Amino acid sequence: MAAAPVSRCGLCLLVAAAVALCTVHYAAALEVYAPNELFVENGTFAKLPCTFKSSEVTGSTTSITWMYTEEGSSSSGIVIFHYINGKKFPAQEPRFKDRVTWVGDINSRDVSIKIDKITFKDNGTYSCSVLNPPDIMSTPKQIKLRVVEKDNMPISNVPFLVGIICAVIGGILLIAIIVFAVVITKKKRSRKDYTGSGDGGQTESLMSPVKQPPHRSPSDTEALVTGAPSGTMQGPVIYAQLDHSGKAGSQINKSETVVYADIRKNC
């Protein structure tokens, strides 16, 4: 009998958890972004920037409401601008009439407005609220507007940040150029050393004089052997003087060279 109440309590807890999860989902699905504080020069105009992020597509049900609360006031404030179904409804309050202009783009999730002829009386808190059904759970974003004289305007940090970024980029480029120059110099030196070691011996061998064998006059036998046809090897040649006169004596009247031996050998 006790099991039924427990099961019912468990079911209730599950339903509560599901509702809580859905609520968290919708709360986190729509987020509004705007600066916390804005300084504007007296006598100029003020652009109140505001954007939002939503998981749903914007359409005719998307609505934007801008409200103003005077500084030091405890009231909920007054509506100075309203946007719904693609139509703009500027405030009819005499204080802001014909001064508020829509400068946003709903397709880009930009819901900014502009207020002309800003004076010190416009100091206060401006809140931007966005509804984009079914994303309806969102927290309005508040902007504190500070109207000051020109001399009291805070110095913008943009030029300083731009200078820092340029300095960093310039330093990176300088380091890259130095590294590139060092690499190129090392490559040139290594190439020069390689060329010197490889061509030095060749240049020296080409410039050094060629040693010639000592010159000597060949003998008759060497001349004959040297003049022999290539591919054959001729043996020694013996020359003799023969007497053809038929007379006895030591004087030779006619002589003729006779080859007694001609040895040839094929190589």
Instruction: Tell whether pTM > 0.85.
Output: no
81, 58 in Cβ contact below 8 A? no
CA distance 244 to 242: 6
Structure-token match 């939503």, residue found: 54
Give the CA distances from residue 57 to residues 30, 110, 136, in Å, rounded to whole numbers and listed in that order.
11, 14, 13
Give the pLDDT confidence score for residue 157 in this predicted structure: 52
The pLDDT confidence band at residue 248, using thresholds 50, 70 and 90, is low
Mean pLDDT of 237-245: 52
| CB-CB neighbours of 123 under 10 Å | 16
Largest CA distance in the chain: 174
Q: What is the pLDDT of residues 163-183, one digit of tens each?
A: 788 888 988 988 999 998 889
pLDDT of residue 72: 81
Q: What is the structure's pLDDT at 160? A: 56
Query: For the segment 2-48, what is each residue's pLDDT rounded down to a tens digit?
Result: 444 444 444 444 444 444 444 444 445 799 999 999 999 999 999 99
pLDDT in tens, 200-238: 555 444 455 555 666 555 555 444 444 445 545 555 555
Percentage of the chain beyond pLDDT 90 is: 38
pLDDT of residue 219: 52
What does the pLDDT read at residue 44? Answer: 95
pLDDT score recorded for residue 73: 81
132-149 residue pLDDT tens: 999 888 899 999 999 999
* pLDDT for res 10: 46
User: Is the pLDDT reported for residue 193 higher than 80?
Assistant: no
Cα separation, 71 vs 173, in Å, equals 50
* Selected residue with higher pLDDT from 228 and 82: 82
